[in-house]
Amino acid sequence: MGRRLEHVMELLGREPRRPDPKRLPEEVKLIYQEKRSDSTRVQALRAELAQKKANPQPEKIRRLRWAVLIAVNLLFVLSYRIDIQLLEGALTASRFMGFHMADLNASLQVMLAFKHVVVNLLIGTTTVFVLWWLLGGRTFCSWVCPYHLVAEWAEMVHVWLAKKKLVKDHPLDRRLRTVAWVVFAVLAFVTGYTVYETISPTGILSRALIYGPGVALIWVGLLLLFEIFYSRRAWCRYLCPIGLTYGLVGATSPLRVQYHLPTCFHEGECRKVCLVPHVLDTVIMGRARGVHVDIGADCTRCGRCVDACPTGSLTFVYGRGQKGKEGALPPTQGEPAA
C-alpha cells in the first residue's frame, strides 16, 4: 500500500523520492555492488547500444498501439456514417452493443454541473471504470485517445527540430495538472456548465472525426504548435485532467509495466522515449527499491520503454508478475508491502 500511495503522489505532481540506501533489501544492495565493481559492464553497455544503433528495430508495440487506437476511433466513425449502431456516440459518452459507456472525467463534470446523478451515466461510468481498471487506467491515453496520436506525431516533429537546434523543450510543473483538474471541477459545480468539455482536445477530435470538423479544431492546432515549438507533449504531461483521472483508476490495476533490476545496464534509453519519464526514476542506478519494481500510476502503458530497452529489463505483466513469484519484500527492508 505504501508504494501505491507514493505512485499516486507522483501522479499528482510530487517528484519521485530517492530510496534510503541503508534500507534497501540486501539482495538489491548486492546487485548494485556487483554492477559497480563489474569492469565489463560499461563495455557491454556500449556494445549493446552500438548494435542497436547499427541494427535499429521497429517499435512493434508502438505500431500495434497506433493500429488499435485508429481502429477504435474508426469504429465510432463507421458506426455513425453507415448507421450500423455498433458503437454509438463519441469517446465522452457512447453505447457499445447496447452497453452504456461514459468517460469518467466527462461524467464527473456532468454530475458536478447538474448536481445530481443520472442513472444511465452512472451505469456507463461503472462500465468504463471496470474496463480501464483491468487495462491499466492511463492505457486509455496511449491506446484510445485521438489527441495522444496526433500529439505523438507532433512530438516527432519537435524531436527532429530539437536535433537541428531549432527548438528547445521547456518543461512545466507537473502539479499544474492537479490544479487544472480541481479548477475545472469547481467551474462545473459553480457554473452548471461542463467547461472542460468545450476545450478538451480528446472530445473535440473525437466529435470532429465522427460528426465533421468544427471551429474548435483551431484550439487543437494551437496546442500542437505549442508542443512542437515550446514544450514537448505539454498537454498530456502537464495539463490533461483526463490523464489524472485514469491514472487514479489504474493505480491498483493488474496490468502494468515492471522493471527487472538484475539485467538493467542503466543506459537510460527508456527514459529518452517515455512520455512521463519520472515514472522510470527507478531505472537510475541506486534508485530501485526491489529486484522487481512496478512502474507507477502515471505510466500510460504505451510500451515505448519496453521496445527501447536493449536488455529486456522492462516488460508488461498482468497480475502479480515476478514480484509475486519471489514474494513481496517486507516494508522494513525497503519497498513497503503493496
List, for residues 95-105, the tens digit of each pLDDT value: 787 778 888 89
- The per-residue pLDDT for 335 is 38
Q: In which band, very low, low, confident or very high, does the pLDDT at 52 lie, cut at 50, 70 and 90?
A: confident
The residues with which 88 forms a beta bridge, in sequence order, are 95
Q: Which residue type does 23 have?
A: R
Burial environment of residue 309 by CB neighbours within 10 A (0 to 12, 13 to 18, 19 or more): buried
Q: In which band, very low, low, confident or very high, does the pLDDT at 331 lie, cut at 50, 70 and 90?
A: very low
Counts for the chain of helices (H) and strands (E), in that order:
17, 6
Q: Which of 41-45, 245-249, 322-326 has the lowest mean pLDDT?
A: 322-326
Read off the pLDDT of each residue in 221-245 and give the average, rounded to a whole number. 96
pLDDT value at 246 more than 60: yes
- The per-residue pLDDT for 323 is 52
CB 311 within 8 A of CB 35: no
Q: In which band, very low, low, confident or very high, does the pLDDT at 206 lie, cut at 50, 70 and 90?
A: very high
Q: Which residues contact 286 (CB under 8 A, 6 or more apart)?
A: 18, 19, 21, 32
- The per-residue pLDDT for 322 is 63
Instruction: Give, in degrees to the nearest 5, the angle at Cα 109 between 99 and 140.
Output: 55
8-state DSSP, 25: -
- The per-residue pLDDT for 189 is 93
